[in-house]
Amino acid sequence: MSILCPSCLTDNPDGTQQCISCGFNLTPVSPNKTTTSLHHLSIGTLLKQGQYQIEQVLGEGGFGITYKGIYRANNAPVAIKELWPEKSARQGNQVIWPASISPQIKRQQTSKFKLEASHQQKCHHANIPKIYDWFDENDTVYIVMEFIAGKSLFKILTQEKKLTEERVKRYFMQIADALKTVHNNNFLHRDIKPDNILIDPQDKAILIDFGAAREFIAGQTGDMTRTLTPGYAPYEQYSQRSKRFPATDFYAFCASIYELLTGQLPIEAPDRASALLQQRSSDPLIPPRQLNPDISNLMETVILTGMRINVEDRFQTADELIDALKGQFVSPLQKKARELVKQGKLVEAVQSYEKCLSNEPNNGAAAVEQALLQIHLNDTQAEIAAQKAIQLNPNDGRGYGVLGLVYCHQNNWESAVQQLQKGAKLSPQALWIQVNLAWSFGKIGHWQEAESAINTALKLDSNNLFALGIQAWITFNQNQFKATIGAASKAITKSKQNPSQKNQQIQYWVYPYLLAALDKATTSQQSQDLDRRIQDCLTQIQDHPFAWGFKGWKQAQQGLWSQALPCFQQASRHPNAAPWVLINTAISHEHLNNPSEALQIYQAYLQNNGEEPFIAYRLGTLLAQLGQWKQAKTHLEQAIQLKPDYPEAYHNLGWVLLNLKTADGQIQYARELLSYYRQAITLYNQQDKSHLSRMLAQALTEADV
């Protein structure tokens, strides 16, 4: 009869005291010790100088034996976990390590076992067992922890086949909160599964077995030992050089929910990844509702989100997971897109939204957010996105709001009003919709409706700069100049308090309404305030074309042409200079006897902007002053053709014809001359310019015409 060595499983001749292969002591265990297995510690065994006593074997895993014991100082129950290397044996209480494990590997295993205790001890949470102690003894290591009476979820599943969603949700909300503590301590559990979740007599879920837990820094690559359970482990856990993320635990978390609700273990992650890499039509993971129709749509979404192959597509924090389980689901891809928007990475954000909607085609909130983003990038794509958002979420007014903004950009103001009205009705708290509705009403001349819309917007936020600016624009067009001054001043003052490029843009277009309103509302005694505001504008925006032009215009009104000209020239250098600035630059040159410069500006203006009656009139008059009568005649005739009721043009054309004579000194166009003068007198009278009519008539009489 041979003796089987418990250490190396070698057959030894009967009577052998030491194994012929590994040298293990084959002396039988003392018969007065009671145990359930040759390699378990006997009941009653004392540890750590009698502080702890073994009472019962609870279970055995690949690298450890767990006992129920007592802390003898107060007889409190404890769980004691003993490091038990594979293929080891016991002589008395002493653990005999197999010869196949070198001293170096032995040190690694004992250090790792102690590290488990250290990691778990740092994670103080009601749903994680407390670690009381760990120590070396019997050539191995022991961990003493809180004793949890109860059954694992795996045993419960085995008995009940499936669990209800409400029950699973209650347990896993607790586990998610425990994981929050684990991850906040920079650890990953790495082996979440139903077998590692105990349900105690109070129906509380307890996360156990931190043997695979590892320290991590999110997003960094490290040597992650390949410890996993197929079906629960994500794809990245199959690689020792994978990056470390909390989302690794969330995959196993959601895979566990999948199994508990369906009774079926999910397909292994590498098989899923392989299928997706081969560009098959779909993920081979069976959606859980196909296996159990009683699972809610929300729970299925949570499970499938947590089990996505790509780490970045899963939940990134325990809080995200908890919110999702509570019904406040926000797709990780959607959240990532939001973060990219905050960082100003708009193109990348669009790509993230597109990926989100590809994975979640019914995500109405993401569709609306994508439309809101596209309005800043591409009107065509914004319109497409808005239509999709309206289709998915017809009760969200923001989709209509985006569509209205697209029409604003296209100057399709009637359509803009229609869409923005729908948006304002569905989303009355969306200030931006109300402001743009006011803008659109103003653009079609419905100033009363515009005023009503902007007042609604300002009730939502009385300090909104864009709304205040639009109010200034509306009231100016209603000739409510004091109201314009109030709104514009407030907008400018608040924009100065928070300097930014966006706020400076608001100042850029609001200042002209403030300056023009001040000019119309103030008396000559108050002109100093206007001058101060002009200078204030130029201090804030040094090249503001309107402010420079307006300053020049005020000086020109006083006949200060030499001071006005540099202001007009400064304004005209700006690429967005208004046409009136260029015209007044030319007029200033005329008054300063710079006819060639004036001619050059008028001719350039006509070339860039086309024929205009006033420019044709000025150009014809200037050419006449220079004695270029034929060219003057052409331009003045053009002015009359463009504006038949232009008395000044008729007047000056008569003067030009008076100077166009034949070779013998006769007036060449005498009949036309009289006709033009008569028409000038008639139009002067019709346009309440009778003083000019009288002056012209008197001049003609004196000239005997």
The terminus-to-terminus CA distance of the chain in angstroms comes to: 153
Q: 171 and 205 in contact (C-beta within 8 Å)?
A: yes
Q: 574 and 545 in contact (C-beta within 8 Å)?
A: yes
Query: Is 162 assigned a ligand-binding role in the annotation?
Result: no
Q: 572 and 581 in contact (C-beta within 8 Å)?
A: yes
The amino acid at residue 526 is Q
Q: Which residues pair with 47 in a beta bridge?
A: 52
Q: Which residues contact 215 (CB under 8 A, 6 or more apart)?
A: 119, 186, 187
3-state secondary structure of 584: helix
With CA atoms as reference, report the closest residue to 653 among 638, 636, 669, 667: 636
Handedness of CA 458, 464, 468, 474 (dihedral sign): negative
3-state secondary structure of 414: helix
The amino acid at residue 646 is Y
3-state secondary structure of 311: helix
Q: 134 and 52 in contact (C-beta within 8 Å)?
A: no
User: Angle, nearest 10°, between helix axes 595-609 and 613-625?
Assistant: 150
Q: How far apart are CA 594 and CA 204, in angstroms?
A: 94
With CA atoms as reference, report the closest residue to 246 among 258, 234, 231: 234
Q: How far apart are CA 572 and CA 562, in angstroms?
A: 16
With CA atoms as reference, report the closest residue to 551 among 576, 480, 560: 560
The amino acid at residue 200 is D
Phi, psi of 650 (to 5 degrees): -60, -45
With CA atoms as reference, report the closest residue to 167 among 251, 255, 249, 261: 261
Q: Which residues contact 628 (CB under 8 A, 6 or more apart)?
A: none
With CA atoms as reference, report the closest residue to 705 among 663, 664, 654, 665: 654
Report which secondary-structure segment, H or E, holds 215.
strand 214-215
Tell how strand 205-207 and strand 197-199 pair up: antiparallel
Q: How far apart are CA 629 and CA 169, in angstroms?
A: 94
* Number of Cα atoms under 13 Å in the Cβ half of residue 704: 0
Q: 349 and 373 in contact (C-beta within 8 Å)?
A: yes
Handedness of CA 403, 406, 408, 413 (dihedral sign): negative
Q: Which residues pair with 142 in a beta bridge?
A: 82, 135
Which of the 8 DSSP states describes residue 59? E
With CA atoms as reference, report the closest residue to 112 among 140, 80, 93: 140
Q: How far is CA 293 from the centre of its chain?
A: 35
Is residue 515 exposed (0-12), middle (13-18) or buried (19+ Cβ within 10 Å)?
Answer: buried
Q: Which residues contact 502 (CB under 8 A, 6 or more apart)?
A: none
Paired tokens of 143: 């961990």
Paired tokens of 622: 């200037």
Count of H-run helices and E-run strands, the chain: 29, 15
Q: Which residues contact 216 (CB under 8 A, 6 or more apart)?
A: 186, 187, 188, 222, 244, 245
Q: Which residues contact 634 (CB under 8 A, 6 or more apart)?
A: 620
- Which residue positions form the known binding site? 81
- Which residue positions form the known binding site for ATP? 81
